Amino acid sequence: MSPESNYSQNLKVKTIDILSGKLIVVLNELDAKELGVLPLERVELTNPRNKKSVNAVLDITDTMIGENEIGIFKDVHKILSTKDGSIVQVRPSGKPRSIEFIKKKMDGYKLNQDQLKQIVNDIASNKLSEIEATAFIAAVYMKGFDLEETVFMTKALIENGKTLEIPNATVVDKHSIGGTNGRATMIIVPIIAAAGLAIPKTSSRSITSASGTADAMEVLANVSLSLNKIRQVVEKTGGCIAWGGAVELAPADDKIIKIEYPLSLDPEGQVIASVMAKKASVGAKFVVIDLPVGPFVKVHSRDSAEVMALKFIEVGKKLGIKVEVVITNGSEPSGRAFGPNLEAKYALEILEGKFFDNLGQKSVELAGALLELTGHVSKGKGFEKALNILESGEALAKMKEIIRAQGGKIVSSDQIGKAKFKKLFVSRHSGEISSINVGLLNKVARIAGAPSHKKAGLMLNVEQGSKISKNKVLFEIHAENKRKLDAAYDFAMRNQIVSLKRIILEKFS
Amino acid sequence: MSPESNYSQNLKVKTIDILSGKLIVVLNELDAKELGVLPLERVELTNPRNKKSVNAVLDITDTMIGENEIGIFKDVHKILSTKDGSIVQVRPSGKPRSIEFIKKKMDGYKLNQDQLKQIVNDIASNKLSEIEATAFIAAVYMKGFDLEETVFMTKALIENGKTLEIPNATVVDKHSIGGTNGRATMIIVPIIAAAGLAIPKTSSRSITSASGTADAMEVLANVSLSLNKIRQVVEKTGGCIAWGGAVELAPADDKIIKIEYPLSLDPEGQVIASVMAKKASVGAKFVVIDLPVGPFVKVHSRDSAEVMALKFIEVGKKLGIKVEVVITNGSEPSGRAFGPNLEAKYALEILEGKFFDNLGQKSVELAGALLELTGHVSKGKGFEKALNILESGEALAKMKEIIRAQGGKIVSSDQIGKAKFKKLFVSRHSGEISSINVGLLNKVARIAGAPSHKKAGLMLNVEQGSKISKNKVLFEIHAENKRKLDAAYDFAMRNQIVSLKRIILEKFS
């Protein structure tokens, strides 16, 4: 860090009402020159009233912001607790130390606990730019983490964030790697809570699928809960389903995930560290991990799933967490619904006992595995116990409690609203269904508007192995506007979503 | 690409007067939802009047920009030729095809010509985000380019940009890899032009050093020349020294360099492709590459310099360019000046015959190598010929011609302005100078304000091997304001810039 960085200016804040998803500030050209900083370089801002500080990326203007002023975007205001007219101290950020460690990893060296900690802290505090953080993730993808590095990374992620403590409770958690639809969590959490265990579940919003668990739960209740509110809800009801993005359990991890997404980079070591850090942060001592394997989900082969499973268990041991990984059949959709409202309704219907299908089966199996893992029931008795809680209506009653504790009002599947438009997609041939492409179904639901339009989505009417006749309805597309409905339908027409069994695979003549 | 991307909106432009160094547009939340795009995703903008289009990154606001409006930053205006109140068509950009190829490179596969072309085109047209482009550079750094890939990359960079043609001329060029100070180019170009060859030199501005050649030349003349203007200047005078950033010779390369910089990532294959693409783009058929080797420059060992040299020559062959690589002594500064004004003055003084030192020697040797390479003089006669052109005053006369052709007025070293403040840095001990850290000298000059403050910088008063007494002036720091002068002095005090020879290396007791 150069001595330059000791020099700071006091500038008057002018709000720029833009939500950019990044921490950006704007300086007048004159002030930027005086500070010796260029566009895209980073400056450190401090609010002298509360000593809160933040590193932000610099843009430069010569008209919009006057001399001795600083334009700050909304996201920066939030962190500093500043407002229009506040005074902030601004100085050039030094070059973060972790750059040296990133370079080491790129050159194939192993990183130690302190080095990974520094990288995680610099990512979380925005000291590393997107370019630098991407180079790190790319290095982890290409060079890998060994078991020790994975554990160090996990610990660094945990220590960097906040943690939840629920006193006098057996805290458990579940996680699904790359699950795509169905929302088993909304069935498992009430079963587990009804059984007397504590399950403070934080879930994500959709990135590539039609709905995340947080998106579906939001149809019923508020999911943007503070850590304090999560504790209250769990102490009262035993469970909650909150949006992980609203709490700062592992803030560096959220930034890493944003970087992994555009290239679908999921370095195995990082995925394990990321999942385990979040589980440890909520204080879970028993964790069941659902690892679906199939052609259209993240993990394609049993072999690689088994390798990953063993690593999860090892990392768990080092953190004092008992982990069970269950490899599940990911070749079929989990239930028929795609999209927030449709998935929320579907999960509630299972809790209401209206039907019991492969999603119900999976949820009860996973809940049963958790009950056995904690020793709450003896080996082999988990499924029966979980099924009993579901069938007796205890799980539904518990779900209603949780929804109300999270400030929700919708407690019955009948209350969930439907989309304005619907279009049926029918088969063009008759035959037996050999495969259903879950990725494409998600895509159709997204083009129809999900998850932004909560009511938009797709309902599947058939399953693998079904024998269908020509013109049979394969799925219904739901949308909030006509254009999106048509676009989704067109996309479905142009892609092979449902495949029929073929005897003649190729013809020569 | 999803069918979604066929949907576009016509929106009214509202200018946001921010220079962000990136292409950014701001949409109202309602319009963004309608288009189905999220913050940080990319949209394609088209100006319907001239069909110009550009890919930009999206920010979102709910107040600053109204419905049916789009806020666009200055950089976007420039490309589209739009203004406040214009109408632009906006649609979501599809996922670029090159992402798949980047992933392939990360997984260790070799890329073919078409794939590298696609990556280069998508970087140049801003279709790849910073994250995606960084992943590519990181992959090239970690997996390397073989010779064939280097050639493909070079060709892709050339084809993506514009090219210069100077009819009826022997076009030559020189390039220095990681040179740090001195500006040999400003001496070589007039020698070569005076000899009757054409040398359309494009140079860079400083990134980490106290001055780039473009910064120093700008003290004397205009360096932001269009391709057309470069052609005119060279046709008239035989040479020019322009800023490469102002012409679109290899626009993707400029973006790649911006990504390489923060992590000092210089994958060898990419460095070669980058240099050779720029040389080929100006139509050079003979190129001398100066590869300084030393502890404080980019290349540290003779061995790695030789490996790199052979690759340069091979790639040159495939492009029809005769390349000579000269490995030079990079362990000492090239001349005594650091900073734009000081370096420009120093180079002019050598051309004026006021002195002849190691910078003069290096420049004449390199010019001589170029003359021999083209066959302009016979082997072994290059140095003598070049020295003669310098000593006879022909090179100075040519430099004055070039300066005037580039719209400059300063043609004598006496006309160059000096900084307001100066501070002497003296030795604290007597002894013999064993090494001088060029990197730290650059740093001192930068803290003093160079290159933003053109007059700021540093003049070195000693050289390696000098025997000095205590309180001898080692260097002078020049600055435009007192604060920067003191900061630079403090930094120099706290660092070992000039090392004295030691007999006792360590003591035990």
Do B134 and A134 make contact, defined as CB atoms within 8 angstroms?
A: yes
Chain A residues touching residue B265 (CB < 8 angstroms) = 103, 106, 135
Q: Which residue has the tokens 């929804």?
A: A403
Q: Cα(B372)–Cα(B365) distance, rounded to whole angstroms?
A: 11
Cβ contact, residue pair B18, A131, below 8 Å: no
Q: pLDDT tens digits, chain B, 509 residues: what are they?
A: 344 445 678 889 988 887 776 788 888 887 887 777 777 778 999 999 999 999 888 888 777 888 889 998 888 888 899 989 999 999 888 778 899 999 999 999 999 999 999 999 999 988 898 889 999 999 999 999 999 999 999 999 999 999 999 999 999 999 998 767 889 999 999 999 999 999 999 998 887 789 999 999 999 999 999 999 999 999 999 999 999 988 888 889 888 988 888 888 889 999 999 999 999 999 999 999 999 998 877 888 899 899 999 999 999 999 999 999 999 888 888 899 999 999 999 999 999 999 999 899 999 999 999 999 999 999 999 999 999 999 999 999 999 999 999 999 999 999 999 999 999 999 988 999 998 998 899 989 988 989 888 999 999 999 888 899 999 999 999 999 888 899 899 999 999 899 888 766 566 76
Of A275, A10, A270, the C-alpha closest to A123 is A270
In DSSP terms, B421 is beta-bridged to: B479
* Mutate which: B65, B74, B102, B131, vs A, most A CBs within 10 A: B131
Nearest to A18 among B2, B59, B139 (CB): B59
Taking a C-beta distance cutoff of 8 angstroms, is the pair A447, A488 a contact? yes
Instruction: Quote the pLDDT of residue B6.
Output: 55
d(C-alpha A275, C-alpha A174), whole Å: 10
A2 pLDDT exceeds 50?
no
Using a CB-CB distance cutoff of 8 angstroms, which residues of chain B are in contact with residue A7?
A: 483, 487
Q: From the candidates A25, A75, A134, which should be mutated to test the interface with B, based on the most B CB atoms within 10 A?
A: A134
Distance to chain B for A317, nearest Cα, Å: 31
Tally Cβ neighbours within 10 Å of residue A374. 19
Angle at B407 between CA B401 and CA B413, to 5 degrees: 60
**In whole numbers, what is the pLDDT of chain A averaged over residues?**
91
Model pLDDT, residue B1: 37
Q: Which residues of B touch A259 (CB under 8 A)?
A: 131
Q: Choose the catalytic residue: B173, B254, B266, B290.
A: B266
Q: Which residues of A touch B4 (CB under 8 A)?
A: 447, 487
Q: Which residues in chain A touch residue B16, judged by CB atoms under 8 angstroms apart?
A: 64
Active site residues of A: 266
Which of A20, A452, A487 lies at the smallest CB-CB distance from B39? A20
CB-hemisphere CA count at 13 Å for A102? 27
User: What was the pLDDT predicted at A95?
Assistant: 78
What is the reported pLDDT for A246?
84
Give the CA distances from residue A249 to residues A74, A77, A226, B192, B384, in Å, rounded to whole numbers and listed in that order.
Answer: 22, 21, 10, 64, 71
Using DSSP, state whether B419 is helix, strand or coil.
coil
- The candidate with the shortest Cα–Cα distance to A239, out of A289, A306, A193, is A193
Are B62 and A134 inside 8 Å of each other by CB?
no
Question: What are the tokens at A409?
Answer: 């009002």
Residues in chain B within 8 Å Cβ distance of A33: 452
A54-93 pLDDT, tens digit per residue, is: 988 888 877 788 888 999 888 888 889 998 999 999 988 8
- Cis before B3? omega within 30: no
Tell me which residue has tokens 């500038």.
Answer: A11
Q: Give, as one character, the DSSP assignment of residue B286.
A: E
pLDDT at B17: 80
Residue with tokens 């933003």: B452
pLDDT at B154: 97
pLDDT at residue A505, as a whole number? 58
* Interface residue B26 vs chain A (CB under 8 A): yes
Residues of A in contact with B99 (CB under 8 A): 262-263
Are A263 and B130 inside 8 Å of each other by CB?
no
The size of the A-B interface in CB pairs under 8 A is: 147
Instruction: State whether A17 and B64 contact (CB < 8 Å).
Output: yes
Q: Which residue type sits at A174?
A: K
How far is A398 from chain B, CA to nearest CA, in Å? 35
Cβ–Cβ gap B106/A130 under 8 Å: no
Closest to A445 (Cα-Cα) out of A482, A488, A496, A509: A488
Q: What are phi and psi of B433, to 5 degrees?
A: -75, 120
Chain B contacts of A42, Cβ < 8 Å?
A: none
Dist CA B134 CA A131 (whole Å):
6
| Model confidence pLDDT, tens digit, residues B204-214 | 888 778 999 99
Q: Which amino acid is at B399?
A: M
Q: Which of B255, B256, B263, B483 to mutate to test the interface with A (most CBs of A within 10 A)?
A: B263
Residue A503 — very low, low, confident or very high, per pLDDT cuts 50/70/90? Answer: low
Which amino acid makes up residue B47? N
Nearest CB to B138 within list A60, A106, A483: A106
Delineate the domains of chain B, giving CATH numbers in brackets.
3-92 (2.40.40.20), 98-144 (no CATH), 172-411 (3.40.1030.10), 421-500 (3.90.1170.30)
pLDDT tens profile A210-267: 999 999 999 999 999 999 999 999 999 999 999 998 888 888 988 898 888 888 888 9
Which chain A residue has the Cα nearest residue B24? A20
Q: So what's the pLDDT on residue A489?
A: 95
Residue B497: closest CA among B448, B419, B426, B430: B426
Burial B218-256 (b: 16+ CB within 10 A, else e): bbbbbbebebebbbebbbebbbbbbbbbbbbbbbbbbbb
Q: What is the chain B residue with the closest CA to A1? A: B491
Q: Say whether residue B30 is in contact with chain A using an 8 A CB cutoff.
A: no
- Say if residues A350 and A363 touch (Cβ distance below 8 Å): yes
pLDDT score for A5: 44
Nearest-Cα residue of chain A relative to residue B101: A263
Quote the pLDDT of residue A1: 37
Q: Could you give the angle at the alpha carbon of B27 between the alpha carbons of B21 and B28, nearest 5°? A: 145
Residues of B in contact with A22 (CB under 8 A): 40
Residues 320-339 on B with a CB inside 8 Å of A are none
Quickly count: other Cβ atoms within 10 Å of residue A113's Cβ: 14
- The Cα B324–Cα B366 span in angstroms is 10
Q: Which residues neighbour A235 within 8 Å (Cβ) at sequence distance 6 or greater?
A: A166, A169
Bridge pairing between strands B322-329 and B286-293: parallel
In the predicted structure, residue A336 carries a pLDDT above the cut 80: yes
Q: What distances in angstroms separate CA A447 from CA A458, A480, B99, B183, B336, one per listed residue?
A: 10, 11, 21, 57, 64
The pLDDT of residue A198 is 98
Query: Is B452 an interface residue toward A (CB < 8 Å)?
Result: yes
Cβ A2–B443 below 8 Å, yes or no?
A: yes
Residues 132-161 of B with CB under 8 A from A: 132, 134-135, 137-139, 141-143
